[in-house]
Homo-oligomer: A and B are copies of this chain.
């Protein structure tokens, strides 16, 4: 039957495809399934009781303000907290460099909205975060991909890529989604240096930076960029930095932030006004309350302990159950690791088979904006319990053994 809506939708909607990942998440929540698919935190570590007390306090002390409209930039107290926490890691920013967003996904969307003209090229690691591609496809972005290895973006290919005049460089330096890989200090410095040399700015997406299980904290790309300048009082550098409370408090709040020069924060606030007016005032007040004192630092330590154990269980299970000829990354933090199957194997077929065994994985090809990666897959180790991880990798190994016979 003729559907009148089809011809009404705008041209840009042709680039909006149903995400295989989101559709699979629905399957993952069925009983009996073991999911390595989504990027869900472990619900067992959500500080539910702390939230309950925080809601109580906020509503008793600031109820009317917390339930009222707020300013687009975000609740000042929260922006101060974000600036202070960031400055502990070597940044030099004030609340006017901070815009609170409805999750990092909104920061990605707003970046698209204020920067991307149809046909603009974005320089990305390959593979890269699927959510960024989804956000920017709607603005007609195209992509220049630079391959990555176990030390992140291979900067020896960066200069050639920059000569294709990208609008900006997008990197996830810590425990990248999807690979779990961290960009080395030398490469971070090289990215900052070349970006400045070519007059191209950097979008640094860092949802997992605080979830380091081992090894030394590496300075953010933004911090390295600051060090190259005469650190002004108000941040005025070449990097837009994205952080989030989703992985260190709870994703259900939809609370994240962007740190950027004031001109960018101003333009982005205008865009946000037209997009959702402002982020939930109540969520912001609750996050302020939860973040008081040293609770958050203690809580992050707890999350790291839990995730480190799960990563270790997964790595051991991979060693034990996976056939020879398969490789995987060894992340020092975060939520994911990345599996490379022998050339010629197709991870979408692995998913077809593994679903029969009630195990869900994400085929890696969606993370490559310009094709490739058919023999790769992403495994999440934060959501399932150690016992389920062991069982799931066991079943997955069985599937792979059969397929590789």
Contacts and interface: CB of A to CB of B under 8 A. Distances in A.
A103 to B, nearest CB: 5
Highest count of chain B CB atoms <10 Å: which of A199, A246, A270:
A270
A59 interface: yes
B13 A271 contact: yes
A247 to B, nearest CB: 11
Given A134-B274, A135-B274, 9 more contacts: A8-B115, A9-B267, A17-B270, A43-B67, A46-B64, A48-B64, A52-B59, A102-B280, A103-B276
A166 to B, nearest CB: 12
Given A3-B263, A59-B51, A275 B68 contact: no
A49 B67 CA distance: 12
A337 to B, nearest CB: 20
Interface in A304-337: none
A264 B4 contact: no
B59 A270 contact: no
A46 B59 CA distance: 11
Interface in A38-60: 38, 40-41, 43-44, 46, 48-49, 51-52, 55-56, 59-60
Interface string A95-113: 0000000110110010001
Highest count of chain B CB atoms <10 Å: which of A72, A106, A274:
A274
Interface in A214-230: none
B48 A113 contact: no
Contacts of A369: none
Interface string A47-89: 0110110011001100111111111100000000000000000
Contact of A252 (B44, B117, B270, B281): B281
A116 to B, nearest CB: 6
Contacts of A68: 40-41, 43, 46, 250-252
A137 interface: yes
A157 interface: no
Contacts of A66: 252
Contacts of A135: 274-275
B276 A69 contact: no
A273 interface: yes
14 contacts: A10-B114, A10-B120, A43-B68, A48-B64, A49-B59, A51-B67, A52-B56, A67-B251, A134-B273, A138-B271, A254-B280, A254-B281, A280-B283, A283-B283
Contacts of A384: none
B22 A253 contact: no
B117 A11 contact: yes
- The 8 tightest CB contacts between A and B, nearest first, are A48-B63, A252-B281, A67-B250, A43-B64, A55-B55, A134-B274, A67-B252, A16-B270
Given A274-B137, A276-B254, A114 B69 contact: no
A113 B19 CA distance: 18
A19 B275 CA distance: 13
A270 B4 CA distance: 19
Contacts of A274: 16, 105, 109, 131, 134-135, 137-138
